Amino acid sequence: MDLQTTTYLVVGASFALYIGIAIWARAGSTSEFYAAGGQVHPVMNGMATAADWMSAASFISMAGLIANMGYGGGLFLMGWTGGYVLLAMLLAPYLRKFGKFTVPQFIGDRFYSKSASTVAVVCLLTASLTYIIGQMTGVGVAFSRFLNVSSDTGIYIGQAIVFLYAVFGGMKGITYTQVAQYIVLIAAYIIPAVFISLQLTGNPLPQLGLGSTMSGSDLALLARLDQVVTELGFGKYTTTTAGSTLNMFVYTMSLMIGTAGLPHVIMRFFTVPKVADARSSAGWALIFIALLYTTAPAVAAMAKYNLHATVNTAVAKGGDLYAAENSIKADERPDWMKRWEKTGLLKFTDKNGDGRIQYYNDATKNPEVKAKAEAAGWKGNELTVNADIIVLANPEIALLPNWVIALVAAGGLAAALSTAAGLLMAISSAVSHDLVKGVFKPDISEKGELLAGKISMAVAIVISGYLGLNPPGFAAGTVALAFGIAASSLFPAIMMGIFSKKMNKEGAMAGMLAGLFVTLFYVFAHKGIFFIKGTEFLGLIGGPNPFFGITPEAFGAIGALVNFGVAFIVDKMTKEPPEHIQHMVENVRIPRGAKAVDGAH
């Protein structure tokens, strides 16, 4: 069976499964719509949390960025996994004990103010919408290649599918769909990695294969990769950092605390019966997440090696990388390159007219590399590979069977769609429950509230789809911006709400607004106002990365510091919270009990 038919069959079967589950588990009440009735088993919730948390950025984009950045790309691994541990151990049990559906509800009740809740809704909507743009970028990449449609059409198809099962199923449908999506995505990630690890190192475990020697050689895989990339003018794979050390540290912190402030993951801890189950499901989720995250560095390094080995035969066989006969002929390039060229995400330009492909870093400052390239008649790098295609193209590069390639397509789509659905849920509950019912129309009926939630989902998906057509960066880069927004606005308010009984509503609101404003200002200066191209204002802030060389993706940690600082200053200038609120905070800090989730204010 040819690749295209196999892909249609595998992807089609996975979609039919998701929609079938959504119909089977459709929500019948607001409790089921927002918190799956609070009756999900911890292991199932662990799988759903893992699928919810591992988005297109983790599945599609992360290994590609590590492949491009080398050691520096490890900040995504450290930031996202560290943030998850922070969330699971430090915040989830307390939030679950509080017994509310949503983060704005927690902030509204803890800071005894509907205004605080409304500010939290604004922060949540900003972070979640930015996050969905990243997911839509990933959906567009996956569909464009595997269904032979344009990236834009891929986004439209993805919008329709997510909307269908999120609206029909609510949190209950999303939970069980995410369990199925987790199984699909983890199989799709690990199976090709095992094949490729066996091919390159003879070790079936990719995690161990990464540190092993190459098959038929006593040279380690990473040592050979370092040799190849440095000879071609790239930074050393095992030591290159992402900008300055300060930027790498702040970037990691931003991802870490942003993870802990993300509303769609926090909501998952409200779907289990007891506080103990929240802890248990957090532990299970960590195990399920670790399966992918410990495999990603191996996928990245092996994909990088295989890509170079494909376009330059001297990489695998040895010899001079700059010898003319070792660069592959353009008309003999593999079919997978031609297929990705059609999507516009892989580009080849024959700059020196020799009919061969030269892939190297033409911007290198290494005089030895420059001299070799000039002597070989190379006129610049001729191959551009979008970081977002590395994982999806990986089994094709390694010439694996068609069913593995089709499985990876289904996995990539599962990762993007599961997180998009979780984010839509967070947006829907923030608008219908916290804004419409909590502020504007407290006497709204249950039916009316559900309708408001579904309409807000529809509006959110249209906006994110529109912005996804022109994303501000790679999927993982866009998602990093969303983490920065959550880090600077929601995370400090949640932390202070749990661990500082003296923090009052004025301090929390001022902190959230200050953190959000300063982060958005820095991000919009680089990426355009609301990510609309042509509206950047870098001149106003003195050029790119003016604050100690910190990139906009890393700025969330600075925004969080501003948030904490402003909150404590305003808190000292205003009166203390009421006595009953201080007692409530002390009570919440004892993470025991089985208080049922209640959505009422």
Residue 197, pLDDT score: 94
| pLDDT tens-digit readout, 337-379 | 888 888 777 888 999 888 999 999 988 888 999 999 999 999 9
Taking alpha carbons only, the member of 50, 24, 539, 534 closest to residue 281 is 50
In the structure encoding, which two tokens stand for residue 40, read together?
């999900």
Interval 270-297: pLDDT, tens: 777 777 777 788 888 889 988 999 999 9
pLDDT for residue 597 is more than 70 = no
How would residue 30 be classed by pLDDT, with cut points 50, 70 and 90? low
List the single range of 101-110, 179-188, 198-207, 285-294 with lowest mean pLDDT. 101-110
Answer yes or no: is pLDDT of 140 > 80.
no
What is the structure's pLDDT at 29?
64
Phi, psi of 433 (to 5 degrees): -85, -45
Please state the rounded mean pLDDT for residues 302-325: 90
Q: String of b and e for 336-364 (b: at least 16 CB within 10 Å)?
A: bbebbeebebbebeeeeebebbbbbbbeb
Whether the pLDDT of residue 507 is over 90: the answer is yes
Most confident of the following: 17-26, 335-344, 496-505: 496-505
Q: How far apart (Å, rounded) are the C-alpha atoms in residues 134 and 511?
A: 27
Residue 594 sits at φ, ψ, to 5 deg, of -135, 45
The highest-confidence range among 55-59, 147-151, 235-239, by mean pLDDT, is: 235-239
User: Rounded to whole angstroms, how far apart are CA atoms 397 and 393?
Assistant: 6
* Tens digits of residue pLDDT in 58-100: 787 788 888 888 888 888 888 888 888 888 777 777 777 776 6
pLDDT in tens, 214-224: 988 889 999 99
Q: What is the pLDDT of residues 185-201, one digit of tens each?
A: 899 899 999 999 999 99
Q: Who has greater pLDDT, 418 or 37?
A: 418
At 106 the pLDDT is 85
What integer pLDDT is reported at residue 599 of this predicted model? 44
Q: What pTM was estimated for this model as a whole? A: 0.79
103 closest CA partner among 119, 85, 86, 120? 120
Most confident of 324-338, 405-419, 475-489: 324-338
| Average pLDDT across the chain, whole number | 84
| Cα 97 to Cα 46, 109, 120, 269, distances in angstroms | 18, 13, 19, 10
pLDDT (tens digit per residue) in 539-577:
888 888 889 889 998 999 999 999 999 999 999 999 999
DSSP state, residue 179: H
Predicted confidence at residue 600, as pLDDT, reads 40
Using 50, 70 and 90 to split pLDDT, how confident is the model at 598? Answer: very low
| Calpha distance 437→23 (Å, rounded) | 27
pLDDT at 101: 61
Q: Is the pLDDT of residue 596 over 50?
A: no
Q: What is the pLDDT of residue 460?
A: 84
pLDDT of 418 above 80: no
> Which of 283-292, 463-472, 554-563, 589-598 shows the lowest mean pLDDT across its residues?
589-598
Q: Return the closest-CA partner of residue 97 out of 272, 286, 283.
A: 272
Residues of the chain with pLDDT > 70, as a percent, come to 92
